[in-house]
Each structure stands twice: as C-alpha cells, then as structure tokens.
Amino acid sequence: MGEATDRWIPEKKTNPVKAIREMCIECMGGGRPSELILHCPSKECALYEFRLGKNPYRKPPSEKKLASAMENMIKLQIGKA
C-alpha cells in the first residue's frame, strides 16, 4: 500500500519556541536547511520571528539575576570541591 520514504520527521519538542523551529525546518523541506531558515522569504508568516529557535520578545536577565546566578554557581562549585 504505502512505501517507506526518506522523508524527514521533525522531533517532538515540549518547548514552544523549539517546536516552532522544528515547524520552520519542516516548512523549508526538512533536513538541515539552516541557511534556508536564516534567509526565509516568508516574512509575513506569524512564526517568522521565532524561526531561529529563540524568543525575540524575551527580556535579557537583569544584573541582579545575573549576580544571583553567579553566586549560586560559586556555591555549587565550592560544595563539589
């Protein structure tokens, strides 16, 4: 009835932004079309800004959060030594 093909099958992602990237890969023909996705001609697509697997609307962490994360990393490193 149906023949097996070498069609690219996208991975199931739980992170919405990563799932959108998988959709963009599928839209561009599957495989590893990084160059095609980077220069995607469909600028009117609702997912266009998310095509690279990053959320363009996410704010960068504040200095306070970065300092807190650095302190936690140092504590973890001291605990391992």
- What pLDDT, in 10s, does the model give residues 24-62? 888 888 766 677 888 888 899 998 998 888 888 888 889
> Per DSSP, which regions of the chain are E strands?
none
Share of the chain above pLDDT 70, in %: 79
Answering whether pTM is above 0.95, one says no
**Could you give the CA distance from residue 15 to residue 23 in angstroms, rounded to a whole number?**
12
Asked if residue 1 has pLDDT above 50, the reply is no
Asked if residue 70 has pLDDT above 80, the reply is yes
**Could you give the CA distance from residue 12 to residue 67 in angstroms, rounded to a whole number?**
34
Q: Which residue has the tokens 């590893």?
A: 32
